[in-house]
Structure 1
């Protein structure tokens, strides 16, 4: 910790940075919006810690994304863990180990984004 998830691209032109700290607080910084700080729901934070522990000493996947043609308006997810930067599109054989961390972080990002845009109608993975 801290973990940082970056979401860029897409039709809407996302440029979001979510930072989750060891104390369970998360801060979302999005282009054109005030930063939002929220508390990660305990159950979600536990899932994140479990996913992080499952990684153990598995090396972060490196290299570039697969050589598939670029997709217009594709959304790119990048996870920063300490000094390691992992692109979702580069997971390859490490997907079974790293995907759960991306999934929980993306769930927190979605909840924080809804809070930031005041579209959150029920308690989610992150509460204000």
Structure 2
């Protein structure tokens, strides 16, 4: 059984013996860690499709979280916003890595105007 704060629905064949009940669900409690520091942004483009982030999806971005190597982030690089995976190599150099082999990694140079806007915590993907 699922914890009382979560509503679960199996994606497999339903068992007629299971008893389901609908309960109210506050999406702010489930999806957002720090309400004052959280934003929803719409994604344009296909550079993150292999991370499950598609053109037109909305992402939940939390500015209160600290980005680490491997985090998917929203960043400003030389005045342009982008969503990419942060990669930090063994020498401490940073890269913005797309999750689509058609796009090359973007180096973060020491003289670049670079700022991490926030860490992506969820993707709201539309279904057909």
TM range (shorter): under 0.3
Structure of greater Rg:
2
> If each structure's helix is expressed as a fraction of its own residues, which one has the higher value?
1
- Which fold has the larger relative contact order, with Cα–Cα distance below 8 Å and residues 6 or more apart in sequence? 1
